[in-house]
């Protein structure tokens, strides 16, 4: 064999050496744990399509939050399921809405835990869309168009009500044009200029959201969300979406979903210098859980590899339903 011989394996010969030269390190501080809060009392109900994830009523929520804090996870992302819904999602911006009440309790129990409030209307509207809609019937079939600018007013009210309740970060996920600018202006006018916006900048119209729609009871009652969420085939459009949010005042950018969009994560990381969040969504979580329950995969190894891959692709922070398990495995 000719000299020199390149022996890459020298740096893989022991766990200690592999650890010394490891380029990407996953840390509990990188993770955000989503929580689903619902109405009622005494509710801790497992979501059928998301094993290990639960609906909590306000009176059962503390045990979950205490566990998250004990694990050193720095933040939670709140989703609310209200008792009543209407055409404009008014329970989403009600001062005593489910997300607002949950926020107040969490900040009372653990002031240091960051509360990220998902700012959207789909869980609160009776039609399941992310804003106001104009509906009409064609040949007996209900159709509807989401009204962009009128929806911004309601989304801004929602964001302000969440900030008033104590939310540390506003995370608008609605994909309306101009939503960051509208919410930033509304927050500033209400005296919350210090509250950052984690924008769902690049949110695709994805099939990976299925289990979430069961969890949040937010499936559209007609049509789909393809007129406002992005086409999965597009990446240059993602740059334009993110650029708009940067110019409108976003403090953090997000790519959602994560696994099928790691190329998009890398593109956004290379194009912009704001903190970047990847949302490891419900369908991605449920696929891993289902395969693990069948004994087809090593769940621990798969999850840690998956989350490390998202960091390697460029994500600074990862929203994931695996967060609690991942931290336990990282500590082993």
Catalytic residue among 62, 85, 256, 311: 256
DSSP one-letter string for 223-277 = S-STTTSBPTT-SHHHHHHHHHHHHHT-SEEEEES-GGGHHHHHHHHHH--S-EE
| Domain count along the chain | 1
Please give the pLDDT value at position 138: 62
Q: With bands split at pLDDT 50, 70 and 90, how would you rate the model's confidence at 20?
A: very high
Residue 245: inside a domain: yes
Residue 1: inside a domain: no
Is the pLDDT at 4 greater than 80? The verdict is no
User: What pLDDT, in 10s, does the model give residues 35-54?
Assistant: 999 999 999 999 999 999 99
Q: Which residue has the higher pLDDT, 103 or 4?
A: 103
Residue 206: inside a domain: yes
CATH of the domain at 306: 3.20.20.70
Please give the pLDDT value at position 130: 72
Is the pLDDT at 222 greater than 80? The verdict is no
Please give the pLDDT value at position 131: 73
Which residue segment(s) compose the domain that 107 sits in? 29-331
| Residue 213 marked in a binding site | yes
Is the pLDDT at 221 greater than 90? The verdict is no
Is the pLDDT at 298 greater than 70? The verdict is yes
| Residue 91 marked in a binding site | no
DSSP structural state of residue 6: P
Residue 251: inside a domain: yes
Asked if 208 contacts 281 with a C-beta cutoff of 8 angstroms, the reply is yes
Is the pLDDT at 136 greater than 80? The verdict is no
| Residue 151 marked in a binding site | no
Q: Which residue has the higher pLDDT, 235 or 147?
A: 235
Distances (CA, A) of 291 to 121, 143, 154, 285: 32, 38, 40, 10
Please give the pLDDT value at position 223: 60
User: What pLDDT, in 10s, does the model give residues 239-263?
Assistant: 999 999 999 999 999 999 999 999 9
Asked if 119 contacts 89 with a C-beta cutoff of 8 angstroms, the reply is no
Closest CA to 124 of 177, 83, 166: 83
Alpha-carbon distance 314 to 242, whole Å?
A: 15
| C-alpha of 146 from chain center | 22
Q: Which residue has the tokens 């005042």?
A: 249
Please give the pLDDT value at position 143: 65
Residue 6: inside a domain: no
Average pLDDT of the chain to the nearest whole number: 93
Q: What is the mean pLDDT of residues 172-184?
A: 93
| Residue 120 marked in a binding site | yes
Residue 229: inside a domain: yes
85 is known as an active-site residue: no
Please give the pLDDT value at position 205: 95
Residue 22: inside a domain: no
User: What pLDDT, in 10s, does the model give residues 182-204?
Assistant: 999 999 999 999 999 999 999 99
Catalytic residue among 44, 85, 164, 203: 203
Is the pLDDT at 207 greater than 70? The verdict is yes
Residue 215: inside a domain: yes
Please give the pLDDT value at position 107: 98
Please give the pLDDT value at position 123: 84
pTM of the model: 0.93
Please give the pLDDT value at position 141: 62
User: What pLDDT, in 10s, does the model give residues 73-128?
Assistant: 999 999 999 888 887 888 898 999 999 999 999 999 999 999 999 998 888 887 77
Q: What is the mean pLDDT of residues 284-289?
A: 97
User: What pLDDT, in 10s, does the model give residues 264-283?
Assistant: 999 999 999 999 999 999 99
Q: What is the mean pLDDT of residues 225-239?
A: 91
């Amino acid at each position: 064999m000719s000299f020199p011989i390149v022996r890459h394996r020298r740096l893989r010969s022991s766990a200690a050496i592999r650890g010394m030269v490891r380029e990407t390190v996953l840390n509990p501080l990188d993770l955000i744990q989503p929580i689903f809060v619902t109405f009622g009392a005494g509710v801790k109900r497992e979501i059928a399509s998301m094993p290990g994830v639960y609906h909590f009523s306000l009176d059962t929520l503390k045990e979950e939050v205490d566990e998250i804090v004990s694990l050193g996870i720095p933040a939670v992302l709140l989703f609310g399921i209200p008792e009543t819904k209407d055409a404009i999602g008014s329970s989403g911006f009600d001062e005593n809405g489910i997300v607002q009440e949950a926020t107040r309790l969490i900040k009372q129990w653990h002031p240091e835990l960051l509360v990220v409030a998902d700012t959207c209307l789909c869980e609160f509207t009776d039609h399941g869309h992310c804003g106001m809609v104009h509906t009409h019937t064609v040949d007996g079939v209900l159709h509807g168009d989401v009204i962009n600018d009128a929806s911004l007013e309601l989304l801004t009210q929602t964001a302000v009500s969440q900030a008033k309740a104590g939310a540390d970060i506003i995370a608008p996920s609605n994909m309306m044009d101009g939503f960051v600018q509208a919410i930033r202006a509304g927050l500033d006018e209400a005296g919350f200029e210090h509250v950052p916006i984690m924008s769902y900048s690049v949110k695709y119209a994805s099939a990976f959201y299925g289990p979430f729609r069961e969890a949040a009871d937010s499936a559209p009652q007609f049509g789909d969300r393809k007129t406002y969420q992005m086409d999965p085939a597009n990446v240059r459009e993602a740059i334009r979406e993110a650029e708009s949010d940067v110019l409108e005042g976003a403090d953090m950018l997000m790519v959602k979903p994560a696994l099928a969009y790691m190329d998009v994560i890398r593109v956004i990381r290379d194009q912009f210098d704001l903190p970047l969040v990847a949302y490891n969504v419900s369908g991605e979580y449920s696929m891993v859980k289902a395969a693990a329950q069948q004994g087809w995969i090593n769940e621990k190894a798969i999850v840690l590899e998956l989350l490390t891959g998202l960091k390697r692709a460029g994500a600074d922070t990862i929203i994931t339903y695996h967060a609690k398990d991942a931290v336990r495995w990282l500590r082993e």
